Amino acid sequence: MSPNWKQSYETINDICEICEATSHPQSMKDSIFTTNHTIEKIVIMGLGDNWWQLAMILALKCHFLNQNLQKANIDVRPSSRQGDWATHQQFAVGLYGNKDGPYPDNAAGRATYVEDCLLALEKYFVKVNTYDKLPSPGPVVDEITSRTLLYTPLIPMHFIAQAIKGRDPELYIGNAMDTVEGWCEAMGMTELKDVARDFREKREWKRLAPMPTVVHNEVELKQADKKAGQMESLWNSYNHYSCAPNESIIHSNAQALVDLGLQAVGYHYVTVDCGWTLPQRGANGTLTPNPARFPSGYPALSKFIHDLGLGFGVYSDAGIKMCMTGEPEQVGSLFHEEQDAETFASWGADLLKYDNCYSETSSGYPNTDYTPIVPHLGRYQNMSDAITSTERPIILQICNWGLDFPSAWAPSVGHSWRITNDIIPAWRTIPRILNQAVSQTSFAGPGRWLDLDMLEVGNNIFTIPEEQTHFSLWAIIKSPLVIGAALKDSITTIREESLDILMNKDVIGYNQDSLGVAASFRRRWTEEGYEVWAGPLSGDRLVVALINWQNTARDLTLNLSDVGVDTAGSLKDIWNEETASDVESSYTAHVEAHGTMLLELSQITKAAASTQKPTFFPATNFTVTGSANRQTCHSNLCAPVGSKIGYISASGSASMNITSPSAGARKLIDVYFCNNEIAFQSAWEFGTNTRNLTISVNDVTTRIEVPLSGKSSELFSVGKGWEDTGTFKVEVGGWKKGSNVVVIGNKGGDAGLQRLGADFVGMDVYF
C-alpha cells in the first residue's frame, strides 16, 4: 500500500495553520516525508498528556516509509518539562502524569494503556521499547544516529482531532481509538483505520487483572470462572445493616449462605459494606478495621469466609472519605489506591465494591456531586491498575451510581458497574431503575455486567409478586445478584417465600447463562400498564418477562410476535409453575399485581421478517407551535434526521397532515425520540427516568411514557446524551383513509411531574 504523501503533507499543513504552530512542524514534515533511508529506530520526545496518540500515528506513518518492517523500533519518552527529569523517573513508558488530563493519572494506568494500544498493532512492529525510568539527567543523545527519526511534538492532540473531525473529541480512553481512526482516515491510511476500528469495537484495548496459572483453592477457582465471563453472585451487608456491620453479623450471614443452600446454587461472595474501618488510617497509612466491630480483624474474617468455601468481598471509596450513614466519617482510597489494593490483597480479598462519595475536587469533596467537572474514569482506572499490580485476581465492582455514563468506559476498568442511583425501599424504585437500563443493555456481555444495585428480596419491603418481578428482571438483564437481606442473625431469619425466590434455579440459570446476553426492552403499553422484556439464552432458547405494572391482578397475553417468535414447541411459566407445548401466536396467564409472567421458550420458530415497510416522517416535516422548537444536533446524532423538536409541552406541539393510503383506525408506529432526563437527585423521591409524549390522530390521543435513550455521558459528551435516539413501538388509533391531522404533544404534562415531553425526531408509520 502506498500512502498519498501529498494529501498527508497538506493535511499536516492545515493542522499547523489551525494550531498556529507552523514553524515547528516543518521539521517534522521534512523528516517524515522526505526521508529516504531505512528507519531503524523511532524516538519520540516530549511525550505528555495526549501524545501517545500522536506517537502511534507517527509510528504507523513511519511503517509506510520502511518496507522492511522487522527493523522498526519505537522509543517513547516524556517531555522534560524544563529539565525536571527527576519528576519523570516515577513514570513508565515515557508518559507524563498530568493529573488534570482525561487519561489515567497514575503511571501504571498510562503505561498499560499505551502498551496495549501498540500491542494491538503489533503486526506492524517487532518491538516496543519501554522504560521503567528514564536516564538521568536527560535523554541519551548518542543513541540518535542518522538512522533514528527524532521528533518532538508540540501540537495539542485535541486541536488535531478537532481539525480532522470537525468537532471536539470525546476525551475518554474508550473513544481514543476513534481519534486514531480519524487520523488514519485523514492520512489516507485505510488499512490501519480498519485495524484501529476493529480493535476498539472488540473492546480489547485494556487488560484486566491477570489470571493465576494454577488454581489452588475453591476461591481462586470461582474467581477464575468469573474472569472467564461468569456473573458474580453474592451477599452484601448494606441494604439491611446499612453502615453498621459487625463480626457477628458477617459470621452468621456467611454461615447462613452455606446452611440455607444459597452457596450451592451459586452465591459465592460475602461483602462487608461501609462502616467497617476506623475513621483515620493507621500509623503506617493503612486502612484499619474497627476493633469494636471486628475484634478478630480482617485477616481472621477473611479466613473464616474462605474456610466456608466462599469469597471475601471488601468495600472502599474512590473519594477522600467513604460513603457513610449516621456514622463518623471514614477515610477513602483516593490517592491511596496502591497501598489499599495491596492491603486488600494481603487480606485475601476476592472482590472490591468501590463507591463514589467525597470524590469531586472542584466542589470541595462533597458527599455527593451529580455534576462533577472531572470524568470518573481516572479514579476507577487508578484502583483497577493498583489491583492488577497486586497480581491477585480481585473482582472490581464499580459503584459510581451511573454518573458519567459508565457503560461507555467501565468495561475496560472493572467487571460490573452501577448504572443508576441507589435502589430505595419503595416499589417505585423498580420501574425507575429499569427505565435507566433500557438504553444500556447492549453494553453488557461476558465479563462485563450492568449492575442494577443490590436486591431487596427478603427485606419484607415488597410483596412476593413484587419480589418475583424484581428478581426476574435483575436476573435476565444479567445484573449481579447481590442479596441485600438478612439471611440469619440474632433477630432476623429470611422468610421462606423470599428464600425460594433467591434459590430458583431456573432464574439463576438465566442470569448465569453462558451466552451472557442481557435481555432488552421490547414493548410498553403505557395506559394499559404492562411491558415486555426478552433476551436470548444458550441452546436457542428465549427468556421473556411480561410485567404487570397495575395495582390489580389480571390475565395478560403475550403475543409471540412481539419477541420475534412465531411458535414455541415448549414453554415454561416459571412463577405459575406451568408448562405448555406447541404454543402458537400467543400465551395468556394470570399475573398478580406488580407481578411478572416469566417464560422460557424453546424449540422456537422465529417469526418471518415483515414484508410491510413503514413510511418515515421526520420531525423536519412537522410544524411547531408554542414552546416547541427545532434543534440542530451534532454530526451523526439525533439519528436518522440530524435534528429534533424539543420543549414539547402542554402549550407546545408539532403537527403534520399525513395521508394514509389504507383504511383501519389503528396503526403501528415507531416513535424516534430523545430523553436523557436522568433521575439522580430525584431518585430518592419520585423520579422515573421517563418523559411523556402524546400522539393525537384526528383528536384521538394515545399517551406513551418513554424511557431514557442516552448512550453517552450526560456530563461530557457533545450532546450530553440528549441527542442519542431511542425508538418506542406503539399502536395508535384515530386513523382514516386519506388526510389525517397528527399532533405530537404532551397533553396532561402540566398536571403532573413531566412538564416537558421527550424530544421528537420522527416516526415510522406502518400503513
- Report the distance separating Cα 475 and Cα 452, nearest Å: 10
Segment (H or E) for 181: helix 176-186
Q: How many CB atoms lie within 10 A of CB 666?
A: 13
- Can you name the residues that pair with 483 across neighbouring β-strands? 235, 455
Cross-strand partners of 315 = 353
The closest of 186, 226, 191 to 121, measured between CA atoms, is 191
Query: Side by side, which strands form the sheet with 127-129?
Result: 127-129, 73-76, 41-44, 148-151
Query: Any alpha helices (H) in 211-274, and if so which ranges?
Result: 218-227, 238-241, 247-259
Residue 628: partners with Cβ closer than 8 Å, 6 or more residues away: 645, 646, 647, 648, 649, 652, 653, 654
The SS3 assignment for 429 reads helix
Angle between helices 298-307 and 247-259 (to 10 degrees): 10
697 CB-contact burial (10 Å; exposed 0-12 / middle 13-18 / buried 19+)? buried
Answer yes or no: are the C-beta atoms of 476 and 545 closer than 8 Å: yes
Neighbours of 659 (CB within 10 A): 10
Query: In one letter, which amino acid is 674?
Result: C
In the sheet where 351-355 sits, what is the strand order? 449-451, 416-418, 395-398, 351-355, 311-317, 269-271, 233-236, 481-483
CA distance readout (Å), 269 to 223, 317, 456, 678: 10, 19, 17, 31
Helix (H) or strand (E) holding 543: strand 541-548
381 DSSP assignment: H
Using CA atoms, how far apart are residues 718 and 162, in angstroms rounded to an integer?
Answer: 13
Interior angle at CA 498, CA 492 and CA 503, nearest 5:
115
Alpha-carbon torsion angle 105, 108, 109, 112, nearest 10 = 140
Helix H or strand E encompassing 626: strand 623-626
**Which positions are catalytic?**
355, 422
How many other CB atoms are there within 10 angstroms of residue 617's CB atom? 17
Termini Cα distance of the chain: 50
Q: In terms of C-beta density within 10 A (0-12 exposed, 13-18 middle, 19 or more buried), how is residue 577 classed? A: exposed
Q: Rounded to whole angstroms, how far apart are CA atoms 659 and 740?
A: 6
Give the Cα separation of 482 and 468 in Å (integer). 15
Q: Name the residue among 477, 469, 463 with its Cα closest to residue 504.
A: 469
Distance CA 399, CA 639 (A): 31
SS (H, E, C) 460-478: CCCCHHHHHHHHHHHHHCC
Contact 717, 674 (CB under 8 A): no
CA 548 to chain centroid: 28
- CA 603 to CA 599: how far, in whole Å? 13
Bridge partners of residue 395, in order along the sequence: 351
726-732/667-674 β-pairing:
antiparallel
Contact 693, 648 (CB under 8 A): yes
Name 588's bridge partners.
Answer: 557
